[in-house]
Amino acid sequence: MAKISFPYMGESVVAYKKIGHMLGHEVIEPPKPTQKTVDLGVKHAPEFACFPLKVLLGTYLEEIALGADLLMSSGGHGPCRAGYYGEMHRKILRSLGYEGHLIIFDAPRDHLRDFYQDLKRIKANNSWIYCYHVLKLVYRAIKIMDELEQKVSRLRAYEVKTGSVNRAWEQIQELVNQAFTLPQLEAAQKEGHNLLDSLEMIPVKEERKLRIGIIGEIYVVMENSTNMMMEQKLGELGCEVRRSQYLSDWIDFNLLPHWISHPHEAEIQKMGTKYFDIGIGGHARENMGWIDQFSNWGYDGIVHLLPFGCLPELMSQSIIPQVSKDLNLPIISFALDEQSGLANNLTRLEAFVDLIKAQKFGVKQHILQQKAAG
């Protein structure tokens, strides 16, 4: 059995881990990206590669150092660079003496034989039926995680005890990690909700609530260590948050037949064609659709996250100012990379939230409120 590991991207860890465990592999727990991970990636990646490529490379190297010998990730086919990450990563790993460590799941039609070979390595001695069972369970786990995480991102804004929601969220992830059957999963789900419902919250009237949507490039949106803990920060600033990307949406849209999953994402994509006639790579078109969606839902503002130099998201950024004006919806973009200064960005974020508050509640009231609080 292989010692298996995978990229670290938000909650996807729970899913990968479960697959690995249930198929009987030894799972090397992927370390959450830290400054050290980033430094490692930066050191070995092309200087001008996208930030996610660097962080992923750093993660792979750390995992190999921890003993992993089978790294699995998903590939892709243009039009953006991500489709080429796997190839580039393999090249770099090879130059560092690690041959055959990385398995990239490309669309089977590209290289059917390779796909099958790779799949067999993961499947090991398990029956196909059992694999199907595992995948179904993991899918359910992801759905549950997403549902709970969305609740977490709403509640953070109102917690009485600082950090109580984050702690509950950690407990919840552990609960889902430990569930290996459907009944166990459902129990974890229930317990998760109970945990959150039992936390003490500041009562806030509906019209006093602030809602912020997060859109952008999938990796930096999903992995909070690369986005200055944006969701948590916004929560601390008193905002409910919802992201454009959750893993289950991605699966519904990309992996399942749409007549079964009825993905919301398909609708979003349609909304996005108002801005981009065709897909231009990454999730640029979907993100524009999300701007409309958040606007329709009455959200108060949008945070747009992109890796520095991200091709499709720079195109979004080019059209966002006008869209923001048209919809009368404040939108702020953050370009992230290994050098993005935290302090400076935080000040910008706080100013952004202040601006939204001032717009929504009127300047005077807002100042009074601040005075009352401070």
Residues in contact with ligand SF4 by CB under 6 A are: 50, 52, 80-82, 217, 281-282, 307, 310-313
Of 237, 210, 214, 239, whose CA–CA distance to 361 is shortest? 210
Q: Which does 323 bind (CB under 5 to 8 A by kind): other proteins, ligand SF4, none?
A: other proteins
Confirm if 185 and 141 have CB atoms less than 8 A apart.
Answer: yes
Distance of closest approach, residue 253 Cβ to ligand SF4, in angstroms: 16
> Which CB atom, from 91 or from 348, has the smaller least distance to other proteins?
91
CB 23 → ligand SF4: shortest distance, Å? 29
- In this structure, what token pair is assigned to residue 221? 């949106």
Nearest approach, Cβ of residue 62 and other proteins (Å): 22
Q: What is the dihedral of CA 147, 151, 152, 155, to 10 degrees?
A: 180
d(CA 220, CA 37): 15
* CB-based burial, 118-132: b 16+ in 10 Å, e otherwise: beeebeeeeeeeebe
Question: Considering only 215-223, 228-236, 306-314, 360-368, which stretch makes contact with other proteins by CB under 8 A?
Answer: 306-314
Give, as ranges, the residues between 269 and 288 that touch other proteins (CB under 8 A).
Answer: 275-282, 284
Q: What separation, in Å, do the N-terminal and C-terminal C-alpha atoms of the chain show?
A: 58
Min. distance of Cβ 350 from other proteins in angstroms? 22
- Label residue 100 left, alpha or beta by phi (over 0 means left) and psi (-120 to 50 means alpha): left
Q: How far apart are CA 147 and CA 150, in angstroms?
A: 5
- Considering only residues 36, 65, 87, 367, which one is a binding residue for other proteins as defined by CB under 8 A? 87
Contact partner, 20, from ligand SF4, other proteins, none, Cβ < 5-8 Å per class:
none
Q: CB-wise, 33 or 282, nearer to other proteins?
A: 282
Site string for other proteins, 9-48 (x = CB under 8 A): -------------------------------------xxx
- Indicate if the alpha-carbon torsion angle 37, 40, 43, 47 is positive or negative: negative
121 binds other proteins (CB under 8 A): no
What is the DSSP-derived secondary structure letter of residue 159?
B
Q: The tokens of 76 are what? A: 């892709």
Site for other proteins, rule CB under 8 A: 46-50, 77-81, 83-84, 87-88, 91, 95, 106, 110-111, 275-282, 284, 308-312, 314-315, 317-319, 321-323, 335
